[in-house]
Structure 1
Amino acid sequence: MHILIFSDQHPESAGGAQVSIRLQMRSLEAAGHTVTVCSPKMHQAHDEDPRYIDTPSVPITIDREYSMTVPGRATDRWLDKRLAQLPPVDLVHVQADFWQAIIAYRYAERHAIPAVHTMHNRMDVGIEQSMPAPKLVTGALTWWQHRVLKPRLSTLPTGVWAYLQEYAKRARAVIAPSAHFAQLLRDEGVVNRPDVVWTGVDDAIVDEVLAAQRAAKRVQHRPVFVWTGRFSHEKRLMEFLEAVRLSGADAIFRLYGAGLLLGKAQAFVAQHDLAERVVFAGRVSYRESLAAIAGADALVQTSIGFETQGMTVFEAAALGTPSIVSDPSIAAELPDGVYWEPADGSVEALAATITTVAADVAAGRSKTFAPATSREFRQSHQTSRMLEIYQRVLGGGAA
């Protein structure tokens, strides 16, 4: 079948949803299907790919990495013309919440193609933490959605959850990337029966990384902690650095990623004389990220109440690396024995956990477990579950 995926941001830009889409694309293709990803054109250097359809866009961030396409008739005409050059689309998979979601549903309804929707985004937390007037922003988004996506189907009072329900009402199936986010969507009335499909870990790369780890000789070293993600407030990057400072742990803390808080983070490290312990490793490829996690003594996850799935801790579990998990909802998705959980969400509790883990690692008492062999951590298993949903939808079933 030909699956058309819509994403608010380009697959080659930074972000967990983008990693998820790239993994799904490769795994679906390995299963014999055709995948096209439709997203706004990226205004920063990146790898070109004939499987991407880049809709006309304008940049929305200073670094020009993220952009948006304006939904409407002009975009509809452009997209129809572009897709006419490709094999007929069998199913639309919406993995977007804003402009591209609207474009996706307009396309699906225009051509009578069934749609499924993976909801990646904690919009309530994201808007509240990143916008100066959250209610005004939510109201504007809802007004915009109703203006270009008609008729109105949501039955909830105006707000974030009504906004998401507007999409859910148009989808044949709604998918959540974790059990805790699925429960939240149910609790808020967005959808009655969401499916849960994790973002798995790339089978081939995990095997390659583990093979390289087995071949390498392990030597005694200072404990190594890895933090990976976007350098932004909701990821609690600065809280993590403060916890590192408070812990006083004699360890190496390697930070992978980039973002608007990079300068502030570097200034903090310099101010508190942490340069010998904190290393800014920059953005790396997916494979390099997995290799870094596999080579670390622990991964540190710091956001709380923001992630719809803790992808990095799943990757760590698949690679045999334990994690310090700050978010109780994410910890609840993990098997026992593969993580530490701070006593609460405070910086002090995180610092205390870092201190304990560093001391245990230095003394040879760290958590040890074999890389997870359960198929559920692998993308191939999750893609099989996704294909079951696709077949149900194409067969006429609904969520």
Structure 2
Amino acid sequence: MFADQHLESLGGAQVSMRLQKRFLERAGHVVTVVAPRLHRPAAHDPAYLDLPSLAITPDREYALTWPGARTDRFLDAEMGARLPADVVHVQADFWGAFIGHRYAARHGLPVVHTMHNRVDVGIEATAPFPSLVLRALNAWARRALPAADGADSVAAPDGWAFLRRLARLSRAVTAPSSHFARRLEAHGVADRVEVIWNGIDDDVLDAARSAEPPQRRPGRPRFIWLGRMSPEKRLLPFLEAVISSQIEAEVEIVGGGAQLRAARRLVQRSSPKADVIFAGRLPYAETLRRLADADAVVQTSIGFETQGMTVFEAASLGTPAVVSDPDIAAELGAGTWTVTDATTAALAEALRAAASHIAAGRSVAPDPTIAERFRQSSRTAAMIAVYERAVAAGR
């Protein structure tokens, strides 16, 4: 597996890949994870192959490995001391993708590429001058990646062209949700994109479900928001909606990030009727416990998520969701209060409706089949089938 960031760094893709690795190993497979070396102390695993890297954030949490001949030589030497690979699984969007596809091309190996990132939306939300960034990214891809049939015909400098180039080097393409898979197909990234959800640890899910109280704990409606506190996640609009809705509720904010200080200031100066608690970053098992205890999880990003893990984790535990992204609401299928548009007023109205239903004992219920369909063991079995087809297609 190839990743843009070390699996012990923070991030949803890293959590998913650690889980995938463990369940593949549990099924008897040998996994090597290739990623930039982490620049802080972290747990080591013999499956990790750390590439020379440069820290790219002030907290040294994230790093970059430059794709090129020097990295290729280092990787080939390190992989030469391990068992031969049968398949390359790229779960990266930038330098990790380039390094992985270059390795596969050198050694004649099939590639399965999981697309985690809506590149155009992500860059627009996080980078100044996004059109220039996308032009530079496509130019970098043309230089760094092996030649692909038809790549020159899709060289328009946008996010979809970049993903098309990666897909044309892959024997199979997967995505973590139906809505993202269909969008990739509609933009010509691949003719067929297989849907394989990112899953939840079977053991952790069973423990969390067995610890659930037999009935709702008394008290005011309890909402939970969790995630990275960055603009695309829309924490501040959520807090503005909590304030304007005037709901009497408990609101717990789990996570951290650049907007934490602004979020605290907004709550302090506005004095909402709801009690807003900033819980900080929590261990995964404790996060699931709090999801199970909440009356509803609130999902606020729009167009950015390629799956939206939090609401699926919550649904697996029987907790419904207030959902801003219509694609995610459709993927869940049930157990949601849907926000009608991207305005704060619409989000406030959905919060009022949810609080009213919860207080009256008329909460909505998630699809009960999600818990079983979301187990990592079932997701690993589905991915192994993709690997087997990719390998067989090259024989």
Q: TM-score range by the shorter chain?
A: over 0.9
Is residue 102 of structure 2 the alignment partner of residue 106 of structure 1?
Answer: yes
Aligned to 1:358: 355
Aligned to 1:136: 132
Match of 1:390 among 387, 390, 393: 387
Cα contact 2:3–2:35 (8 A) shared by 1 = yes
Q: Residue type matched to 1:250 in 2?
A: E
Is residue 121 of structure 2 the alignment partner of residue 125 of structure 1?
Answer: yes
- C-alpha distance in 2, partners of 1:100/1:140? 17
CA 1:30–1:152: 2 relative to 1, 3 Å = closer
Match of 1:293 among 283, 291, 302: 291
| Alpha-carbon displacement from aligned partner over 1:155-192 (angstroms, at most 9, x marks no partner) | 21422212111111111101011111111111111111
- C-alpha distance in 2, partners of 1:371/1:299? 16
Q: Residue type matched to 1:96 in 2?
A: A
| Alpha-carbon displacement from aligned partner over 1:255-274 (angstroms, at most 9, x marks no partner) | 11111111211221222235
CA 1:283–1:43: 2 relative to 1, 3 Å = same
Aligned to 1:63: 59
CA 1:369–1:98: 2 relative to 1, 3 Å = closer
Match of 1:80 among 70, 76, 82: 76
CA 1:75–1:157: 2 relative to 1, 3 Å = closer
Match of 2:154 among 145, 149, 156: 156
Q: Residue type matched to 1:62 in 2?
A: P
Match of 2:228 among 227, 230, 237: 230
Offset at residue 362 of structure 1 (A): 2.4
Offset at residue 369 of structure 1 (A): 5.7
Cα contact 1:90–1:113 (8 A) shared by 2 = yes
Aligned to 1:339: 336
| Alpha-carbon displacement from aligned partner over 1:24-75 (angstroms, at most 9, x marks no partner) | 1122112111112111122234322222122111122222211111111111
Identity %: 50
Aligned to 1:184: 183
- C-alpha distance in 1, partners of 2:144/2:366? 52
RMSD of equivalent CA atoms: 1.9
| Alpha-carbon displacement from aligned partner over 1:291-328 (angstroms, at most 9, x marks no partner) | 11111110000000111101111111111000111100
- C-alpha distance in 1, partners of 2:340/2:223? 19
Is residue 40 of structure 2 the alignment partner of residue 40 of structure 1?
Answer: no
Q: Give the TM-score taking structure 1 as reference length.
A: 0.93
- C-alpha distance in 2, partners of 1:259/1:369? 29
Aligned to 1:310: 308
Aligned to 1:258: 256
Cα contact 2:101–2:146 (8 A) shared by 1 = no
Offset at residue 286 of structure 1 (A): 2.0
- C-alpha distance in 1, partners of 2:265/2:34? 38
Q: Give the TM-score taking structure 2 as reference length.
A: 0.94
Q: Residue type matched to 1:114 in 2?
A: P
What secondary structure sits across from 2:112 in the alignment? strand
Q: Residue type matched to 2:386 in 1?
A: I
Q: Residue type matched to 1:257 in 2?
A: G
- C-alpha distance in 2, partners of 1:174/1:82? 27
- C-alpha distance in 2, partners of 1:374/1:290? 13
Is residue 11 of structure 2 the alignment partner of residue 18 of structure 1?
Answer: no
Offset at residue 281 of structure 1 (A): 1.2
CA 1:240–1:278: 2 relative to 1, 3 Å = same
- C-alpha distance in 2, partners of 1:329/1:171? 26
Which structure 2 segments of 5+ residues have no match? none
Q: Residue type matched to 1:243 in 2?
A: A
Offset at residue 275 of structure 1 (A): 9.9
What secondary structure sits across from 1:185 in the alignment? helix
